[in-house]
Amino acid sequence: FIKSIRGSDPDAALFWLSRMLDAGEDPRFVARRLYISASEDIGNGDPLALLVAEAAFRAVEVLGMPEARIPLAQAVTHLACAPKSNAAYLALERAAEDARHASDTGVPNHLRDGSYTGAKELGHGDNYIYPHDCPGHFTKQQYLPDSLAHRRYYYPGALGYEKRLRQWLEATKGLPEEEKS
């Protein structure tokens, strides 16, 4: 079922959906699997896929069977036909690895709260630039800890909505040549 969605085959996904439901599978289980697929396999290729999965889950709760088959089929076909990306999932795995094992992972001083008494003496909040005050609501400043300042986790793909995210990152942060292919 999920592999059919991941493989962009709406016909196979509908077939396996029907087989599961006819065999008595709990439609809530099916709807939960759609949540997983929407984030793990589609991600920012089509960010609305997660909302479609959520709506299908809610429809299962409200309608019950057999009517819930229709919104499940709608969600299954949307997810199967959506542009796919697992870039956010892979980025999370890379970031989690660094979060578990990197040393010197303190918050940079300019990002620390500078509003309390004594904060300025500690250098907290110094030289922070508020992005919304900058052209394009973006400023190049360090947000990662010093030891990871040049680390990159998210490499957006070139399909669906993620293509727009990639273009925005290229325009604001720049991407090394090897990442532009």
Query: For the chain, how many residues are written?
Result: 181
Query: What CATH number does domain 87-179 carry, 1.10.10.10, 3.20.20.70, 1.10.3710.10, 2.50.20.10?
Result: 1.10.3710.10
Assign domain 2-81 to a CATH class.
mainly alpha
* Whether the predicted pLDDT of 175 surpasses 70: no
- Do 49 and 34 form a contact (C-beta atoms < 8 A)? no
pLDDT for position 176: 57
Cα–Cα distances (Å) from 144 to 115, 121, 153, 177, in that order, read 21, 22, 11, 22
* Whether the predicted pLDDT of 180 surpasses 50: no
Q: What are phi and psi of 2, to 5 degrees?
A: -65, -40
Which of these, 76, 51, 77, 46, lies nearest to 159 by C-alpha position? 46
- Of the segments 28-42, 109-123, 156-170, which one has the largest average pLDDT value? 28-42
pLDDT 10s digits, 59-116: 999 999 999 999 999 999 999 999 999 999 999 999 999 999 887 778 888 888 888 8
d(CA 5, CA 36): 11
- Of the segments 1-5, 110-114, 164-168, which one has the largest average pLDDT value? 1-5
* Whether the predicted pLDDT of 177 surpasses 60: no
Mean pLDDT of 125-151: 87
d(CA 126, CA 143): 14
pLDDT 10s digits, 34-48: 999 999 999 999 999
Domain(s) labelled CATH 1.10.3710.10 in the chain stretch across: 87-179
* pLDDT-based confidence at residue 179 (cuts at 50, 70, 90): low
Domain(s) labelled CATH 1.20.272.10 in the chain stretch across: 2-81
Q: Provide the whole-model pTM.
A: 0.83
